Amino acid sequence: MPMLRFRPAARSDRGLVRANNEDSGYASAGLLLVADGVGGNAAGEVASASVAHVVASFVLGSRERQDPVALLSDAVGYAFAHLSDGVRRDPARAGMATTLTALLADGDGFTLAHVGDSRGYLLRGPVLRQLTRDDTLVQELIDEGRITRQDVASHPYRSVVVRSVAAESPPVVSIVRVELEPGDRVLLCSDGLTDLVPDDLIVRLLDDGSPTTAAQRLVDAALAAGGRDNVTCIVGDVDDGNPHVRNGHLVGAHQNPVNLIDPAAALAYSLERGATVE
């Protein structure tokens, strides 16, 4: 069976209201990732950038044919420890937290890790399918039948995230294998897109042009709708090829080394675990 990879693009914007960008994104042949600093908490840009850096470093340091579920689980576990260390170094960061949605191509298939309210979507033909479940209070209320999806936009607690990667306690992260095939297009995005742009427009823009064109048009649509939050869109086409490529594209807070708790720690730790870099 041929190996499959992503042909990726990444775009991020601070929006029209926020003073800084607390979103982080990463896109490579083997990994797509978005992390969104949880609103209202301290140092959201540090949390998102550092967690994105940890996960990308673990993938960079991984061996081919390494168990992808174990790899992502280890990365998230270290990300929690990394944030905890960041708070010990600087107590002003107490409370920092981030969402995480990451999609890994390992040569044998694809694995999705998710916590928070950033989202992952699959576009196959004309059909858009959400791959993730929002870890939010309003989603819990929907699941319990106490509100409908039509109530979400006006709900006073619509922005409350009930799970995240934070410094205080080990995160509860969903890690599952997903079935993707050549010709599929995937989208990972922060809620700066989905809170403002309806699904029917997301489908039209996502299905138009190259991954680069689609990612930019999605960001532009969020800005045109008011841009009240940071917005990050990571788009990847599934195609034949080697996913074990040692470079990628950073966007948002992940671009600025000042936002990283310890730029060397994650890669060093991943290498200590016995991984090899080609």
pLDDT band at 276 (very low <50, low <70, confident <90, very high): very low
Residue 35 is predicted with a pLDDT of 98
Every domain of the chain and the residues it spans: 4-272
The fraction of the chain above a pLDDT of 70, given in percent, is 94
Q: Of residues 265 and 239, which shows the higher confidence score? A: 239
Span 75-127, pLDDT tens digits:
999 999 999 999 999 999 999 999 999 999 998 899 999 999 999 999 999 99
Whether residue 277 has pLDDT greater than 50 = no
Instruction: Give the CA angle between residues 45, 15, 152 to the nearest 5°.
Output: 90
Residue 245 is predicted with a pLDDT of 86
CATH code that applies to domain 4-272: 3.60.40.10
Q: Rounded mean pLDDT of the chain?
A: 91
Interatomic CA distance for residues 151 and 143, integer angstroms: 13
Span 7-18, pLDDT tens digits:
999 999 999 999
- Determine the residue type at 213: T
Candidates 54, 186, 76; CA nearest to 120 is 186
Mean pLDDT of 270-276: 54
Candidates 218, 157, 213, 226; CA nearest to 193 is 218
Interatomic CA distance for residues 89 and 72, integer angstroms: 25
Whether residue 28 has pLDDT greater than 70 = yes
Span 35-76, pLDDT tens digits:
999 966 789 999 999 999 999 999 888 877 789 999 999 999
Q: Which range among 39-43, 71-75, 167-171, 266-270 shows the weakest confidence by mean pLDDT?
A: 266-270
